[in-house]
Amino acid sequence: MTTGHVRTEPERIALYGPEFARDPQRAYARMRACGDLAPVELSPGVPATLVLGYDAALEILRDPGTFPRTSEVWEAAVGPECPVLPMMMARPNALFTNGAVHARLRSVIVDSLDRVDPVSLREYVQRHADTLIDRFAGDGKADLIGQYSRTLPLLVFNEMFGCPHDIGDKLVRGMSAIFDTVSAEEGNALLGEATGELVAYKRRKPGADVTSWMMSHPAGLDDLEMVHQLILLVGAGTEPEQNLIANGIRLLLSDERFGGDLSSGSLPVDDALDEILWTDPPMANYGTTFPRQDVDFHGYHLPAHQPVLVSYAAANTDPSRATADRKGNRAHLSYAGGPHTCPAKGHSRLIASVAIEQLLDRLPDVELAVPADRLEWRPGPFHRALTALPVTFPPVWDRP
Ligand code: HEM
């Protein structure tokens, strides 16, 4: 019989549901009582460990030997119905592979993205932003998620990847079916079809675009490898990007520190993006790893093969690293760190800042239609995403 003090298990906080979505920072503050890591639940009955400390997060991101992306044992245990499986299951793409396989796939992505000309990128973000704004500028009101930030990154993707209209349309429909959770199966099928058609088209007609550069890369990806990387790129390039744009607009329209500068004519869009990337990163909790063996880490026991997620949002706001001045400070972890660091950091900032500047330029008197604290957030453990961003503005019929 044991006597004396019995250690109680800390509460496992749910990262799903409206309560967490409404105020994730409150949940992270409660979890910090456990230390740098805390037990969480990703969906009902699916446990995981969340890394909250900035230093602990970096250690994990930089040590793929101890913390690889090998989910097979866990996948077999949770079964095919597990709702978070699609975001966490092994796939033959850069995000979910390790070591030499990862290095090869990533080199193709990095080298090809590096060839994108920032002047052209800026030009087509502006052009597509204008087309979308034209559609609602005369209405005096809009939902900037449904009518702007959700579609713009897809149109930009089509340009960057040299996607012809019909294939681009299919991609948009596929991504929308997934976003709207109409049918993930239908969405996945459309995405697979569209990327397969894009690869076949570019084999026949290569151009000055990321798809063609990836296909001619010395690493020699075959068609199936290309399809898997393109699906990763369209997913990675659209969902977080729309949230960066929308969260940035929300901050600019609701925070006096930025509003003041807005009316004085100088638009501190880059400062707002820096702030958002510290406080409301679009990918809030991800970088899922599965330790090969049991590990004792920062006073916490991590069992082999059980998921460990990095909370980019909590690590950035770790009180031991708190900083008042975030302008121009890019030491946040919102683009991850280590070998899986986002390869499109520069592109993604450029797309978001041009998207926001163009909107404020065309509709300088745009305002939130509801108080910022009444905006609703999409539930889910991985993202920081508004459901809608309703705004009003004096109608404008002509382009300046
Ligand atoms: C043009 C837009 C974007 C593209 C094409 C893109 C592409 C990618 C790709 C291919 C990876 C996988 C890299 C690897 O595993 O080696 C990745 C990772 C990542 N990206 Fe991006 N990305 C974009 C925008 C963003 C945005 C806006 C954010 C959020 C601020 C973001 C955050 C991340 C993070 C956190 C990872 C690591 C994923 C993890 O947690 O494991 N990305 N991105």
pLDDT at residue 194 greater than cutoff 80: yes
52 lines ligand 1 (CB under 6 A): no
pLDDT attached to residue 8? 57
Predicted local confidence at residue 180, as pLDDT: 60
Ligand 1 centroid – CA 61 distance (Å): 14
Q: Are 124 and 132 in contact (CB under 8 A)?
A: no
Model pLDDT, residue 99 = 97
Whole-number pLDDT of residue 251:
95
The predicted model gives 3-29 an average pLDDT of 81
Can you tell me the distance from the alpha carbon of 333 to that of 257, in angstroms, rounded to the nearest whole number? 23
Quickly state the pLDDT bin for 1 (edges 50, 70, 90): very low
Q: Is the pLDDT of residue 10 over 70?
A: yes
Could you confirm whether domain 13-162+207-392 is CATH 1.10.630.10? yes
Instruction: Say whether pLDDT at 174 is over 70.
Output: yes
Res 281: pLDDT:
95
Q: Which amino acid is at 306?
A: Q
Tens of pLDDT, residues 345-370: 999 999 999 999 999 999 999 999 99
Is any atom of ligand 1 closer than 6 Å to the C-beta of 187? no
User: Does residue 6 have a pLDDT over 60?
Assistant: no
Q: What average pLDDT is seen over the chain?
A: 91
pLDDT tier for residue 3 given thresholds of 50, 70 and 90: very low
Say if residue 223's pLDDT is above 60.
yes
Residue 343, pLDDT above cutoff 70: yes
Q: Hey, whose CA ends up nearest to atom 4 of ligand 1?
A: 237
Atom 28 in ligand 1: which residue has the minimum CA distance? 240
pLDDT at 241: 96
Q: Which amino acid is at 72?
A: E
H, E, C per residue of the chain: CCCCCCCCCCCCEECCCHHHHHCHHHHHHHHHHHCCEEEEEEECCEEEEEECCHHHHHHHHCCCCCCCCCCHHHHHHHCCCCCCHHHHCCCCCHHHCCHHHHHHHHHHHHHHHCCCCHHHHHHHHHHHHHHHHHHHCCCCEEECHHHHHCCHHHHHHHHHCCCCHHHHHHHHHHHHHHHCCCCHHHHHHHHHHHHHHHHHHHHHCCCCCHHHHHHCCCCCCCHHHHHHHHHHHHHHHHHHHHHHHHHHHHHHHHCHHHHHHHHCCCCCHHHHHHHHHHHCCCECEEEEECCCCCEEECCEEECCCCCEEEEHHHHHCCHHHCCCCCCCCCCCCCCCCHHHCCCCHHHHHHHHHHHHHHHHHHCCCCEECCCHHHCCECCCCCECCECCCEEECCCCCCCC
Say which residue, 309 or 83, is predicted with more confidence: 309
More confident residue, 357 or 257: 357
190 Cβ neighbours under 8 A, 6+ residues apart: 170, 171, 173, 174, 177
Give the domain ranges of the chain: 13-162+207-392
More confident residue, 272 or 267: 272
pLDDT digits over 274-291, tens only?
999 999 999 999 999 999
The pLDDT of residue 4 is above 50: no
Task: Decide whether any atom of ligand 1 lies within 6 Å of the 350 Cβ.
Answer: no
Q: Average pLDDT in the 69-96 region?
A: 92
Distance 68 CA to ligand 1 centre (A): 17
* pLDDT level of residue 5 (50, 70, 90 thresholds): very low
349 lines ligand 1 (CB under 6 A): no
Q: How far is the CA of 235 from the centre of ligand 1 (A)?
A: 9
Residue 176 has pLDDT above 80, yes or no: no
In angstroms, rounded to a whole number, what is the distance separating the alpha carbons of residues 126 and 361? 11
- Tell whether ligand 1 has an atom less than 6 A from the beta carbon of residue 230: no
pLDDT of 261 reads: 54
The count of other CB atoms within 10 Å of the CB of residue 348 is 23
- How many Å apart are CA 100 and CA 218, to the nearest integer? 15
Segment 291-302, tens digit of pLDDT: 999 999 999 999
How do residues 365-389 score in pLDDT, each as one tens digit? 999 999 999 999 999 999 999 999 9
Mutate to test the pocket of ligand 1, among 330, 342, 353 (most ligand atoms within 8 A of CB): 342
Q: Is the per-residue pLDDT at 310 higher than 50?
A: yes
- Tell how far the Cα of 9 is from the centroid of ligand 1, in angstroms: 34
